[in-house]
Structure 1
Amino acid sequence: MGGRGQDRVGVAMRGSSPPYQDLREAVSSFFPELVEDLARLVSIRSISASGSHAGEVRRTGEECARLLQASGYRDVRLLEIEGAHPAVYGHLPGPGGAPTVLLYAHYDVQPVGDLEVWETEPFDAVVKEGRMYGRGTADDKCGVIAHLGAARAFGGSPPVGMKVFLEGEEEIGSPNLEAFLERYEDLLSCDAVVIADAANWAVGVPAITTSLRGLLGCIVEVRTARLGGHSGVFGGLFPDAITTLVRLLSTLHDEKGDVAVEGLVGSEETDLEMPVDDLAENLGAVAGLETIGTGSAASRLWTKPAISVLAVDAPAMSEAINLLVPVARAKVSVRTAPGQNPESARQALSDHLRENLPWGAQLSVDFVEEAKGFQQVPSHPAIEAWRSGLEAAWGVPAVEKGEGGTIPFLASFARVFPDAPLLLAGIGDPGSAIHAPNESLDLGELEKAIVAEAAALRILGAGAGRP
């Protein structure tokens, strides 16, 4: 992975009007309407994780279809698969012989969480100091708006073919995405795929995400007895399951906090400095909390494995009695390095747990999640076009960065469209609080993202890195 991008040919036209000025002016003229469109989408409670909101998810898909049509897309339709929330499709053909780009975003959102922490109503978009607050503003209804705006910037005559695919199940792990891609493979065929579901480096600094970590999730169960027994009668001679589980989980890290599972690979990233203090503030870390692990912060977040315990299943405090607890469970999440083979990672974790299980207890490990990491191809015309488009819109080179999270559906796109490179661009920023209360989006960044997408498509259509 590189650091900040180098100067791009044709992006800076010193001594003349700014490049892509026509696109800037076009986007500026209708941007207030797009802000209203985003607010309208935010107002619909498209929470895909709850069956009780299925109607709202579909209504959001229908609204997206209406907006695609109004923006000039043709052949707009809902794509259906039994038992799935609908996807939305639209196509704006380009000139003969021009490449076709598939533009992805998702319109479903996460549950709102603790309403007491929200400073605004989650589904009532509010603009304060240039940011729009509301669930889905940054993740990922802004991506829908970006694809609408880029189409409108060309007045119905884009320099490349533009296909839009809007998913309604991303926040529940995209369980049907591969089925959608396979069923509608001919309809969605393309030369490149642009995923508008990442984040920029900072407000004012765009980014291309070049790598993502993979994911393993498992339930670890430790059993020490069939029924358990009185702690006064058996305690001191036999272990309880909670203590046994805690000791086992503690072996996943060494004393410095590095992952201690042999076979989980990682690499060092030294090109970029991470704003650790800002990250701690965004986390809400308690005063004096130390970081864990060794190496650069970027490595620990992007290119090295991380293991977290997400939940523990044991008696609640209110139900505790003087009993040696016979069984305890924990959900363990592993973020694997981008190049890690999922099968080898699963075997490494399983072997480690069995080899480090204390005191002869019984162990079961049930793997419930698995997703491969992502590494961007090093070079492609679409990637070069996006680099130039981002710099043209923001006026600074794009940072090429990793992210510590996982987008499981990228593997589905790679399998169905193996010759189409994947490119991850985003609109949110580190302060967008995606998945958390008070999610928000900087509207100035959204306008720049639309200009960047339109500029990149023009560059790609021209076949050269110049306006």
Structure 2
Amino acid sequence: MTDTQQSAPATDPALLDALREQVQGDLPTTIADLSALVRIPSVSWSAFDPAHVRRNAEAVAELARGTGVFDEVRIVRSAVDGDTPDGASDATGTDHDGVELGQPAVLAVRPARNGKPTVMLYAHHDVQPQGDDALWETPPFEPTLRGDRLYGRGASDDKAGVMTHIASLRALHARFGDDLDLGIVLFVEGEEEFGSRSFRTFLREQKEHLAADVIVVADSDNWSTEVPAITVSLRGNVTFKLTLTTLEHASHSGMYGGAAPDAMLAMVRLLSSLHDDQGSVAVDGLTAYDAPVPARSEDEFATDAALVPGVKPVGTGDVLSRMWFQPAITVTGMDVPSVANASNTLLPSVSARVSVRVAPGQPATEAYAAVERHVHSHTPFGARVEISEPDAGDGFLVDTSGWAVREARTAMTEGWGAAPVEQGIGGSIPFVSDLAAEFPDAQILVTGVEDPDTRAHSPNESQHLGVLHRAIASETVLLARLATRG
């Protein structure tokens, strides 16, 4: 996790200057195209209108065609994993044989020529729901420029990742034209924010088109707005709905309170058992990963994480180790009456959404089993327990010894003007492990356009335009280096 790793030789100065000039000149168009994508509310969750995701896929496909790079650009929908029919899914998105299809992805392909490598460029075009509109300073789907940041849902996560690929390909085509021998696959997923439910089916069906020597995943963070990062570790994740029931029906809290166990009391007691007094996870069987981390003080962390004055960080050990290499458990939602609608009754049943971040190196299924055992052994008062809607994804550790990482270090240094930091990420990108399993010989690079103040998934998400510019420059240099690689 350092910035002192080996890089490849420098890029030819004339080529580097030409690429930088092209990226700079195209930047206004890039920002305008990004703004147009942000205006499409492409939330992939089942409760939202899928027509917006389809419209967004069509817009991305048109951008891909406009690069002039690809021999073929398609919009593809695959069956949700575990629901695959005997025949292949079609590209129109029409259900057949009663099979549920995932959200539309964009797949564009240019085969390699003359022995050059092939690179897959991944991003996703779907976005999180906007949440409470009242918490946004500007409308979530109206891109708004304030200072050096473009605000809007998906402005960074991950429509800026999409535009990083598109802008890099435009610059590459402007420099090489039809003489480009580099193989390129553009894969823009449409349901990453909804669990990538059809991802594995898509990989199996499109394997021959997706095969690549290098995979660039543009869906991560940077160290700062001035220093890039290569993400080399990701935590896994486990989520589930937890429901506790103690009563057949609601009862008067004055008549029965003090003797009848209400479900809220049982839920509070159970959830509190998940952590110790320092806030560290207290579930037997959840493991941590041991690796060195850069120094970061708790005061710096408090500023980055926007802690309210007086609030202290939870957990023990180095701050970054807690975020990258230790498990974490968060209750992300509860189904209970609101304060405004609260009545003097004992609640018969309470549900919570529980999110577990799993340390890299531990299988998500093993972590889920550990949490499930804990829940059943710590549920108080004999409450009835139901665990439903489970979802799990493995973490990932990137092999940094390959030539592609060395090429990326040089490209980032030249594109940003600063050497990249190799960092872990506390979040999860479970499909990266799926990519590694399907393409074990491919070298995976996890990059991104976010920074510590992006606020992805939160109100007032934004993209720092300087970071966007430097990310495009870096990826363009990387692609040019791969295209001229012996």
Q: Same fold (TM over 0.5)?
A: yes
2:74 equivalent in structure 1: 77
The aligned runs of 1:400-415 (5 Å cut-off) are 400-415=422-437
- 8 A contact 1:270–1:296 mirrored in 2: no
- State the match for 1:164 in structure 2: 186
Work out whether 1:64 is the aligned partner of 2:60.
yes
- Counting only pairs closer than 5 Å after superposition, residues 249-268 of structure 1 correspond to structure 2 as 249-268=271-290
For 1:453 and 1:439, the matched residues in 2 are separated by 23
Q: Is the 2:270–2:375 contact (alpha carbons within 8 Å) kept by the matching residues of 1?
A: yes
Q: CA offsets per residue over residues 17-40 of structure 1, 9 Å max, x none?
A: 588222112212222222222122
Provide the residue aligned with 2:18 in structure 1. 22
Q: Structure 1 413/292 Cα, relative in aligned 2: closer, same or farther at 3 Å? A: same
CA gap 1:262/1:431 in 2 versus in 1, 3 angstroms:
same
Q: Which amino acid aligns with 1:63?
A: A
- Mapped contact 2:301–2:319 kept (Cα < 8 A): no
**Which residues of 2 match residues 212-223 of structure 1 at below 5 A?**
212-223=234-245
Give the distance between the partners of 1:144 and 1:220, measured in 2 at CA.
35
Distance in structure 1 (CA, Å) of the matches to 2:14 and 2:420: 18
| 3-state SS of 2:321 partner | helix
My pick for the range that moved more, 354-363 or 304-313, is 354-363
1:438 is matched with which residue? 460
Match of 2:141 among 98, 123, 130: 123
1:311 alignment counterpart:
333
CA 1:205/1:192 → structure 2, altered by over 3 Å: closer, same or farther?
A: same
User: 1:119 & 1:320 partners in 2: Cα distance?
Assistant: 30
- Aligned to 1:249, the other structure's residue is in SS state helix
Corresponding residue of 1:6: 5
Task: State which drifts further: 357-366 or 202-211.
Answer: 357-366
State which drifts further: 397-406 or 217-226: 217-226
State the match for 2:388 in structure 1: 366
Work out which of the residue numbers 86, 105, 129 in structure 2 matches 1:87. Answer: 105
Residue segments in structure 2 that go unaligned for 5+ positions in a row = 79-92, 94-100
> With structure 1 as the length reference, what TM-score do the two structures score?
0.91
Counterparts of 1:259-278 in structure 2 under 5 Å?
A: 259-274=281-296, 276-277=298-299
Number of residue pairs matched by the alignment: 460
1:274-423 paired onto structure 2 within 5 Å: 274=296, 276-277=298-299, 279-366=301-388, 368-423=390-445
Opposite residue 366 of structure 1, the aligned amino acid is S
1:226 touches 1:326 (CA, 8 Å); kept in 2? yes
- Cα deviations across residues 98-142 of structure 1 (Å, max 9, x unaligned)? 110110111122222222232333233232322222222111111
Say which of 217, 232, 238 aligns to 1:195. 217
Distance change in 2, residues 1:235/1:128 (3 Å): closer
- The CA deviation string for residues 370-420 of structure 1, in whole angstroms up to 9 with x for no partner, is 111111123222222112111111122111111111112223322322222
* Contact kept? 1:200, 1:426, Cα under 8 Å: yes
What is the rounded CA distance, in whole Å, between the counterparts of 1:353 and 1:403 in structure 2?
27
Task: For 1:47 and 1:456, locate their aligned partners in 2 and report how far apart those are by CA, in whole Å.
Answer: 31
1:148 alignment partner AA: I
Superposition deviation, residue 50 in structure 1: 5.5
Look up the match of 1:425: 447
**In 2, Cα distance between equivalents of 1:52 and 1:457:** 36
Alpha-carbon separation, structure 1, partners of 2:14 and 2:25: 17
The answer to whether the aligner puts 1:49 opposite 2:57 as a matched pair is no
* 1:292 positional shift: 0.6
The alpha-carbon distance between structure 1 residues 179 and 388, as it changes in their structure 2 partners (threshold 3 A), is same
The alpha-carbon distance between structure 1 residues 62 and 358, as it changes in their structure 2 partners (threshold 3 A), is: closer
Deviations 1:215-247 (A, max 9, x none): 111223333333465444544344332212211
Q: Is residue 159–residue 457 contact of structure 1 (8 Å, CA) maintained in 2?
A: no
1:40 equivalenced with 2:68 (yes/no) = no
Contact 1:106 1:141 in 2 (8 A): yes
- The equivalent of 2:82 in structure 1 is none
For residues 180 and 297 of structure 2, the distance between their equivalents in structure 1, rounded to whole angstroms, comes to 39
Runs of at least 5 residues in structure 1 that lack an aligned partner in the other structure: none
Q: Per the alignment, in what secondary structure is the counterpart of residue 478 of structure 2?
A: helix
Q: Partner amino acid for 1:139?
A: D
What CA RMSD, in Å, does the superposition of the two structures yield over aligned residues? Answer: 2.4
- C-alpha contact (below 8 Å) 2:233/2:423 kept by paired residues: yes
What amino acid sits opposite 1:79 in the alignment? V
In the alignment, is the contact (CA less than 8 A) between 2:172 and 2:479 conserved in 1? no
* Alignment partner of 1:180 is 2:192: no
Percent of pairs with identical residues: 40
- State how far apart, in whole Å, the 2-side matches of 1:314 and 1:119 are: 28
- Shift of residue 159 of structure 1? 5.4
CA contact (8 A) 2:234 2:428 kept: yes
